[in-house]
Structure 1
Amino acid sequence: MADNAKQTSADDFTPIAGADRAKLDDEKIATPSLTFLQDSWRRLRKNKAAMIALGLLIILFILAFGSHFFETHNPNATNPNFANLPPKIPGIDINGLNGTLDQSGERVNAYAQAHAGNNWYLLGTDYLGRDLFSRILYGTRISLEIALIASFFDLAFGVVYGITSGWIGGRVDTLMQRIIEIMLSIPNLVVMVLLILVLKPGMTAIILSIAITSWINMARLVRAQTLELKNQEFILAARTLGESSWKIAFKHLLPNLSSVIIINLMFTIPTAIFFEAFLSYIGIGISAPQASLGTLINDGQKNFQFLPYQMWYPAIVLSVLMIAFNILGDGLRDALDPKSRE
Structure 2
Amino acid sequence: MADNTSDIKLNADSFKPVAANNVDEQEKISAPSLTFFQDAIRRLRKNKAAVFSFWLLAIIIFISIVSIWWTPSDPNAQHVAYANLPPKIANGNIPGFTGKANVGGNIVDKYAAAKVPKGTYYVLGTDYLGRDLFSRLMKGVALSLLIGLLATLFDLVIGVPYGIISGWKGGKTDTIMQRIIEIISSIPNLVVVILMLLLFTPGLGSIVVAMGITGWITMARLVRAETLTLKTQEYILAAQTLGESPFRIALKHLIPNLSSTIIIQTMFSIPTAIFFEAFLSFIGIGIPAPNASLGTLLSDGQKTFRFLPYQMWYPAAVISIIMIAFNLLADGLRDAFDPKTQE
- TM-score by length of structure 1 reads 0.92
- In structure 1, distance between residues paired with 2:96 and 2:126: 13
Q: Which residue of 1 aligns with 2:12?
A: none
Alpha-carbon contact 2:68-2:139 (below 8 Å) kept: no
Q: Which residue of 2 aligns with 1:4?
A: none
- How far has the Cα of 1:32 moved from its partner? 1.1
For the residue of structure 1 that corresponds to 2:18, the secondary structure is coil
CA RMSD in angstroms, aligned pairs only: 1.6
Q: Which residue of 1 aligns with 2:284?
A: 283
AA paired with 2:332? G
For the residue of structure 1 that corresponds to 2:191, the secondary structure is helix
1:204 to 1:156, Cα distance in 2 relative to 1, 3 A: same
Q: Which residue of 1 aligns with 2:325?
A: 324
- In structure 1, distance between residues paired with 2:64 and 2:24: 56
Structure 1 residues 190-269: aligned runs within 5 Å:
190-269=191-270
- In structure 2, distance between residues paired with 1:240 and 1:199: 50
- In structure 1, distance between residues paired with 2:283 and 2:301: 13
- Residue 18 (structure 2) pairs with residue 16 (structure 1): yes
- Give percent identity, aligned residues only: 60
- How far has the Cα of 1:103 moved from its partner? 2.7
Alpha-carbon contact 1:158-1:216 (below 8 Å) kept: yes
For the residue of structure 1 that corresponds to 2:108, the secondary structure is strand
- Residue 25 (structure 2) pairs with residue 25 (structure 1): yes
For the residue of structure 1 that corresponds to 2:75, the secondary structure is coil
Alpha-carbon contact 1:167-1:249 (below 8 Å) kept: no
- How far has the Cα of 1:151 moved from its partner? 1.9
Stretch deviating more after TM superposition (133-142 or 93-102):
93-102
- In structure 2, distance between residues paired with 1:171 and 1:69: 52
- How far has the Cα of 1:104 moved from its partner? 3.7
- In structure 2, distance between residues paired with 1:309 and 1:296: 11
Structure 1 residues 158-177: aligned runs within 5 Å:
158-177=159-178
- How far has the Cα of 1:200 moved from its partner? 2.9
- How far has the Cα of 1:243 moved from its partner? 1.3
Q: Which residue of 2 aligns with 1:154?
A: 155
AA paired with 1:204? G
- In structure 1, distance between residues paired with 2:92 and 2:56: 24
Stretch deviating more after TM superposition (51-60 or 61-70):
61-70
1:68 to 1:196, Cα distance in 2 relative to 1, 3 A: closer
For the residue of structure 1 that corresponds to 2:336, the secondary structure is helix
Residue deviations 1:12-61, cap 9 Å, x none? Answer: xx8537xx977763432112111111111111111110011111111111
Structure 1 residues 46-57: aligned runs within 5 Å:
46-57=46-57
Alpha-carbon contact 1:101-1:110 (below 8 Å) kept: yes
- Residue 38 (structure 2) pairs with residue 38 (structure 1): yes
- In structure 2, distance between residues paired with 1:109 and 1:15: 91
- In structure 1, distance between residues paired with 2:259 and 2:92: 48
Q: Which residue of 2 aligns with 1:89?
A: 89
- In structure 2, distance between residues paired with 1:316 and 1:262: 26
Q: Which residue of 2 aligns with 1:59?
A: 59
Stretch deviating more after TM superposition (26-35 or 100-109):
100-109
- Unpaired runs of at least 5, structure 1: 1-13
